[in-house]
Amino acid sequence: MFENLFFYSFTGLALLSATMVISVKNPVHSVLFLILTFISSAGLLFLLEIEFISLIFIVVYVGAIAVLFLFVVMMLDIKITDSNRFFFKYFPIGSFLGFAFLAEVLLILGENLETNPYTLEEVSYLSWILHLDFVTNVGVIGQVLYTYYFLYFLIAGIILLIAMIGAIVLTLTFNRKSRTQTISRQTARSLDKAIFMAAKNR
């Protein structure tokens, strides 16, 4: 009973937040609703007992991609515009793509949810856990990632580092009113110029 309650709650929250992503006018609010959509989807994965993928979903999509989207939106300083006038312009192509996607989902579900002609007594199951060494999901991913694909992993890390440095340089602005240090001028000062007496007005 509680699983059904959580399922309907996460599903409704995901659909509502996904609708708000494309309907709100403020792009920052759109990114925040996108984060809520990712969290709701991670909750659905957690209900399917896929805990590792659910946590990775939160770490990667919420902690990296959504924050990157938010950073780019704030960096570009996108103005809030009224999108109602463009609604009917893109409504035909949007509705066509939506119905096509819905038809594909229903077709896949219809093929996979057909009644099984075999009964449970006629089907014999084999537990591979008893015949193979038990390895966790984290261990399997770590073995593959840091052996066969370690070069691609390092290249991806370097690309992300360069992208982060580039974004910081692009958004870094110097204000002339701010008082900064000039190290070369400080080290080039002599003793007679460093100490001076100021006349005090009486």
Q: How many whole angstroms separate alpha carbon 109 and alpha carbon 142? A: 33
Band (156; pLDDT cuts 50, 70, 90): confident
- Burial 70-90, CB ≥16 within 10 A → b, else e: beeeeeeeeeeeeeeeeeeee
Domain ranges of the chain: 1-80
DSSP 8-state code for residue 60? I
Backbone phi and psi for residue 105, each to the nearest 5 degrees, phi listed first: -65, -45
In this predicted structure, what is the pLDDT of residue 100? 92
pTM: 0.54
- Token pair belonging to 73: 């939106």
pLDDT, one tens digit per residue, over 158-171 is 988 888 788 777 77
Each residue of 66-120: pLDDT tens digit? 878 877 777 776 666 555 666 677 778 888 888 898 898 888 877 766 555 554 4
User: Residue 59 is encoded by which pair of tokens?
Assistant: 């770490």
Instruction: Look at residue 152 and tell me whether its pLDDT is greater than 60.
Output: yes
Express each pLDDT in 5-40 by its tens digit.
888 999 999 999 999 988 888 888 888 899 999 999
pLDDT(44) > 60? yes
Architecture of domain 1-80: Up-down Bundle (1.20)
